[in-house]
Copies of this chain bind each other. A is one copy, B any other.
Amino acid sequence: MAFTERSRAAREGILAAARRRFTEGGYERTTIRMVAADAGLDPSMVIRYYGSKDGLFSAAVDVDLRLPDVAGVPPDELGWILARHFVDLWESDFGRETLLILLRSAASHPAAAERVRTVFTDQVIPLVRKATGDVADADVRAALLSTHLLGTVLCRYILQLPPVVDADTLVASLAVLMQHILTGSLAEDQS
């Protein structure tokens, strides 16, 4: 960091406020003035510490999905374990900011979309390759997995589509579908 220890509280306060605002309203609807007001500081301080609004966004977006190691997991338990992990993640404060902050902005902010692609390539694809034993269509299965996961975040937390089921019910249906996506057939027949 290029700043002294004395300003640490201010910098962290700005970052925390920024994460909340970006999570809630996305990139475009979040203003530097809002963030500064939340942090109890002057807007010029935000620029001083993070250079620009884009710089602030980059600093606020640091997504680690904290994916579990699936090395020794039996193949038919993958769906349940991952479903449990993601729902736990989303229902925590950390997870809410971690994924919503990106998804809320990605639809209209190119830099955020690029960041999602990076998370997918660096975190999801390696997981699926390891989980499936690196089958030929692992990348396609990873994409389908991400499709349903991001779709769930979108429908449940952003669009708030009815019916809103409880977390355990969500885990159950998610586990079934993720299991199918990871180890089931992806062409014709089979219910």
Contact = CB atoms under 8 A, between A and B. Distances in A.
A27 B169 CA distance: 34
Decide if the interface of chain A is mainly helix, strand, loop or mixed.
helix
Contact of A161 (B28, B143, B155, B156): B143
A2 interface: no
A190 to B, nearest CB: 7
A152 interface: yes
Number of copies of this kind of chain in the complex:
2
Interface in A153-173: 154-156, 158-163, 165, 169, 172-173
Contact of A117 (B160, B172, B173, B188): B160
A191 B172 CA distance: 14
B176 A185 contact: yes
Contact of A187 (B28, B108, B172): B172
B154 A176 contact: no
Interface of A: 25-29, 76, 103-108, 113, 116-117, 120-121, 139-140, 143-144, 146-152, 154-156, 158-163, 165, 169, 172-173, 175-177, 179-181, 183-188, 190-191
Contacts of A151: 146-152, 154
A159 B117 contact: yes
A137 B144 CA distance: 24
B158 A152 contact: no
Contacts of A140: 163, 165, 169, 173
A180 to B, nearest CB: 6
A187 B176 contact: yes
Contacts of A158: 106-107, 113
